[in-house]
Structure formats: C-alpha cells, structure tokens
C-alpha cells in the first residue's frame, strides 16, 4: 500500500519517449553520416538513443524502486538536460517534462500510513488522535489508589478482638458477642 511517485513517473515516461524520438532523428542523421564518417555516425546514433532510453529506465526504476527515488530522479534530470545536446531536447517537450519529472522524483516522499486503529471508524469513541493520556497525579500528591487503600482501612482501636466472656472472635463494630451475647466492651 506504499504511495508511488506517480506524477514524476508519468512525466518522466512521456519525457523519455520524446527524448527517444529526438534521439531517433539524431540517430537517423548519424546513420546517414555513417556511410561517410562511420565513427561520428555511430556516436550520434548511440548518444541520441541513450538519453531517451536512460530517462525511460529512470522513470520505470523510480516507480519500481521508490526507495531509490533520489538516484533515479537525478538520472532523469541529468539526461533530460543532456538531451539538449544529444536528442534535440526531446523536441523541448521531453526536456521540460524530464526536468519536472526528475525534480518531482528527487523531492518525492512516501506518505506515512496513519495508525490503522485511528482511521477505521474511530474505535472506542475516541477521535482521530486516539485515547486521552492516562491521568497522572501531580508531584506531592498520592495516586488515587494509595489514598483509597489508606482511607478504607478500618479503625479497630475501640473494639476488642475477642469476647471477654467466651473468647470468641469478634467482628469489628459489633455491640454484642455473636457467640454468647455478652455486651462487647463492658
Ligand atoms: Zn462471648
């Protein structure tokens, strides 16, 4: 589901086609010259087609290997500019589109995927930014858990633990012994 540099790819692809067409014209001239000056004709043919091919390869590689977008963007940019000398600038269209496409390829950044739980229907009633942070007690104050434990601890100071009469264990707060009925604390 990774985002693709589609705009850079399409522009570079069209650029490469036009530069290839321009290169084909140069190569055709080179083929004509080849009969008279083979070396020059061969060089013209090769460099004429090379820029277009390299821009096309750069466009495809940019799309296939998005992690190398800077490298392929530079290649598209450089060979688009070189097409001024090698391929009639791709009839100017190839030159302009190649510069834009290459620059877009270099500047392209993959859009990070949002955390899945925060986009699909906002679960648990929370907004797109997730649940609120857990409350933290300010420094100097005890946490609610500690306060609750100490407050709920029963005070058994005035109630005897055992009956004076029968010795049965007494629950805290009772008035009479549950075992023999003697009044507690007398
Ligand atoms: Zn008792």
131-175 pLDDT, tens digit per residue, is 666 666 667 766 555 444 455 555 545 555 888 889 888 888 888
The CA 6 to ligand 1 mean position distance, Å, reads 90
The rounded distance, in Å, linking the Cα atoms of 9 and 63 is: 6
The CA 182 to ligand 1 mean position distance, Å, reads 5
The arithmetic mean of pLDDT across residues 53-77, rounded, is 95
Which residue, 85, 83, 110, 88, is CA-closest to 98? 83
The CA 153 to ligand 1 mean position distance, Å, reads 25
pLDDT at 160: 58
The predicted model scores a pTM of 0.57
pLDDT at 145: 57
Residues 105-132 have pLDDT tens digits of: 999 987 766 655 555 555 555 555 666 6
Task: Determine whether 120 is exposed, middle or buried from the number of CB atoms within 10 Å of its CB (0-12, 13-18, 19+).
Answer: exposed
The CA 166 to ligand 1 mean position distance, Å, reads 4
Residues in the chain, total: 186
The rounded distance, in Å, linking the Cα atoms of 71 and 105 is: 9
In this structure, what token pair is assigned to residue 56? Answer: 């096309």
Lowest mean pLDDT among 71-80, 134-143, 151-160, 176-185: 151-160
Residue ranges of domains in the chain: 6-107
pLDDT at 27: 84
The rounded distance, in Å, linking the Cα atoms of 43 and 10 is: 29
The CA 154 to ligand 1 mean position distance, Å, reads 22
The CA 159 to ligand 1 mean position distance, Å, reads 13
The rounded distance, in Å, linking the Cα atoms of 166 and 33 is: 128
pLDDT at 115: 58
């Amino acid at each position: 589901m990774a985002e693709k540099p589609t705009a850079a790819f399409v522009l570079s692809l069209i650029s490469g086609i036009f530069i290839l067409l321009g290169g084909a014209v140069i190569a055709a001239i080179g083929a004509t010259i080849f009969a008279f000056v083979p070396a020059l004709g061969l060089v013209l043919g090769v460099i004429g087609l090379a820029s277009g091919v390299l821009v096309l390869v750069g466009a495809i590689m940019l799309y296939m290997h998005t992690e190398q977008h800077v490298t392929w963007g530079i290649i598209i940019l450089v060979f688009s500019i070189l097409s001024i000398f090698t391929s009639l600038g791709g009839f100017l269209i190839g030159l302009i589109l190649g510069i834009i496409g290459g620059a877009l390829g270099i500047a392209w950044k993959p859009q990070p995927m949002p955390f899945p739980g925060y986009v699909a229907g906002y679960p648990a009633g929370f907004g797109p930014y997730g649940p609120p942070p857990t409350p933290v007690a300010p420094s100097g104050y005890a946490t609610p858990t500690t306060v609750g434990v100490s407050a709920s601890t029963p005070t058994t100071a005035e109630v005897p633990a055992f009956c004076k009469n029968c010795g049965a264990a007494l629950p805290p707060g009772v008035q009479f012994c549950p075992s023999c009925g003697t009044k507690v604390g007398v």
